[in-house]
Amino acid sequence: MIGSIPDINETAPDFSVLTESGAEFNLNRELTAGNHVLLVFYRGHW
């Protein structure tokens, strides 16, 4: 778990996760490659 929660418009910390297809997604790598990233956080259950 992240130690602190970023404020609005603050840079998100780098992280890596596995996608549904099993590929690794890394935030810093995607941004460095010039890709746009939208992070959406859901509270509660699906």
* Domain segments of the chain as ranges: 14-39
Q: Distances in Å between the alpha carbon of 19 and those of 2, 5, 16, 26?
A: 20, 23, 10, 10
Give Cα 34 to chain centroid, integer Å. 15
Q: Is the pTM of this model over 0.75?
A: no
Concatenated DSSP letters of 1-45: --SSPPPTTSPPPP-EEE-TTS-EEEHHHHHHTT---------S-
The whole-number pLDDT of residue 30 equals: 96
Asked whether residue 6 carries a pLDDT value surpassing 80, the answer given is no
Mean pLDDT score across all residues of the chain:
86
Could you tell me which residue, 7 or 29, shows the higher pLDDT? 29
Tell me which residue of 27, 24, 23, 26 sits closest to 11, measured CA to CA: 27
Max mean pLDDT range (7-11, 29-33, 37-41): 29-33
Residue whose pair of structure tokens reads 């992280």 in the numeric block: 15
* pLDDT value, residue 8: 85
